[in-house]
Chains A and B, each alone.
Chain A
Amino acid sequence: MDFFSFGKIIVYIDKFIKFINSIFFLVLIIGLSFALIISPMDYLQGDTVRIMYVHVPSAWIGLSIFSIIAIGTLLNFVFKIKNLYLFVKSLAPIGLLFTCLAIVTGSLWGKPTWGTWWAWDARLTSMLILMLFYVFFIMSFKIFKDSEKLPQILSAISILGIINIPIIKYSVEWWSTLHQPASIKIMGTSSIHSSMLVPLFLMLLVLLLYCALIFLMKYKTEIIKIKKRNIKRL
């Protein structure tokens, strides 16, 4: 398991950070050019559809990160793997940021298309609940910092929070909501044209690179904190 030692990990972290820094701005410029200039406007929504290029990837990232941290927390609870603890701690703030961004950009998209900034419908409310789960999760690290109960508390939040994920996903099908149903399907044909799909995936790539960069820096910080605490034992 030498591959997972902090020494090995930190070498790869530095390499990945350098790699992301070297390509990030190029990918960002290409993504923004497609999202704001090259992609066509929607025949119904006009140019407001461009908000999709930041709203949809943000929502996907917010949902995915919570699913990952929930699985990670449960695995850590069972197998007590220290790396997993650092992994979920480093990921959670990124998930919170993108969940908040999905809500705010969704609201900015909602006003010109629905005529309202906010509605207490199933999709919007379940996203707000996800944001609260993120807040509880992050607060637990601060409140129960030195408590032995922390893994149990994180696991409880994860289990309750993960139930919300399919509710968010299927809320537009189960209930009558203002939010449109999914246009992109993993199984089946997507109802979105490639001229909009390409910018969407380019912006997803930009935000994923950003997430990776923040995650690696946070993970490295956590490793350094541990080394600093244990310096006298070295």
Chain B
Amino acid sequence: MINEFLNMGGYGFYIWTSFLIVTVFCFILYYKTKKTLKKYEKELAQELEKLPIEHRKRIARSSKVISSILASQNKLS
């Protein structure tokens, strides 16, 4: 029964290759996008780390983007 399912009436190669290609390329784009996002989040957090703590707190209070990034990086002190 599993062989029958994998064989797909003799068209298994075309069907499984189609689904596999879609899965692989969607995963690659997801992985690259997530990696880039994490990289920029980390870089921004590192830039903020260089600032004096009072300045950093003031920025975090005034900018939701910054406070969200700092919170996600667990660097809000």
Contact = CB atoms under 8 A, between A and B. Distances in A.
Interface string B11-40: 110110111011001100110011011001
B53 interface: no
Given A112-B11, A228-B43, A94 B29 contact: yes
A116 B34 CA distance: 37
Interface residues of B, number: 35
A224 B30 contact: no
Max chain A C-beta neighbours (<10 A), residue from B26, B66, B68: B26
A97 B26 contact: yes
Q: Is the interface of A mostly helix, strand, loop or mixed?
A: helix
A7 B65 contact: yes
Given A46-B11, A225-B40, A234 B59 contact: yes
Given A224-B40, A224-B44, A225-B40, A51 B65 contact: no
A50 B12 CA distance: 10
Interface stretch (A67-75, A172-180, A194-202, A210-218): A210-218
B9 interface: yes
Interface string B37-75: 100110110011000000000010011111011000000
B9 A46 contact: yes
Given A41-B9, A221-B36, A228-B44, 12 more contacts: A48-B11, A54-B18, A97-B25, A101-B22, A105-B18, A108-B17, A108-B21, A210-B30, A221-B37, A224-B41, A227-B66, A234-B62
